[in-house]
Amino acid sequence: MTTSSTTDPLRPGSFGLSHDPRGRLILIDAEGRRHVGVEPVRAFPISDPKRWVSICDEQGSELAFIDDLAELPQQVRAVLDEDMVRRDFVPVIERIVNVSGESEPSDWDVVTDRGTTRFTLANDHDVRRLGRQGATIVDAHGTRYLVRDIDALDAASRRLLERYL
């Protein structure tokens, strides 16, 4: 694991993570300094979620960089995993029921792994391929939706999605 800091490098086992009573994530560095309200930021949250994670302070400055979560001590990793699960909200689209209109903006009715929802797509460019099989869709409010495998969608859903890819 490679880590870095704005002062001294943080080495595996040289820092800890915990939550305060308000649920904020705290990084405790090797000198025992508490950095309250830190946020983990994944470099590749969809394609490689277990690698390349920055831990940033409230101003967005990087305090630590983790190459591979598997190299963290179990207790630190458990706290970090718990925090990232709460922060990551990426519904997976299982079916596209309807897309209204042929022009921007368009309203999408979809079934996700979290239930049915409707969102507005502000721009056709907010639908992007993700590798050979997947796609991401970012709605007008910035919520990201994931299609893991376009070929696994039913035929009607694939036709609706293909118009935008």
Q: How many domains does the chain have?
A: 2
Helix (H, G, I), strand (E, B) or coil at 32: coil
pLDDT for position 112: 97
d(CA 131, CA 72): 28
Token pair 């796609």: residue: 135
Check residues 8 and 123 and name the one with the higher pLDDT: 123
Whether residue 52 is found in the same domain as residue 114: no
pLDDT for position 6: 40
Whether residue 40 is found in the same domain as residue 77: yes
Angle at the Cα of 11 from the Cα atoms of 21 and 63, rounded to 5 degrees: 55
Check residues 24 and 35 and name the one with the higher pLDDT: 35
**Which tens digits make up the pLDDT trace of 77-113?**
999 988 887 777 789 999 999 999 777 899 999 999 9
> Which residues lie closer than 8 Å to 25 by C-beta, 6 or more apart?
17, 18, 19, 37, 38, 39, 40, 79, 83
pTM: 0.58
Residue 4 covered by a domain: no
pLDDT for position 29: 85
Q: How confident is the model at residue 124 (pLDDT cuts 50, 70, 90)?
A: confident
d(CA 12, CA 133): 35
* Domain with 61 in it: 16-87
pLDDT for position 13: 59
Residue 9 covered by a domain: no
Residue 7 covered by a domain: no
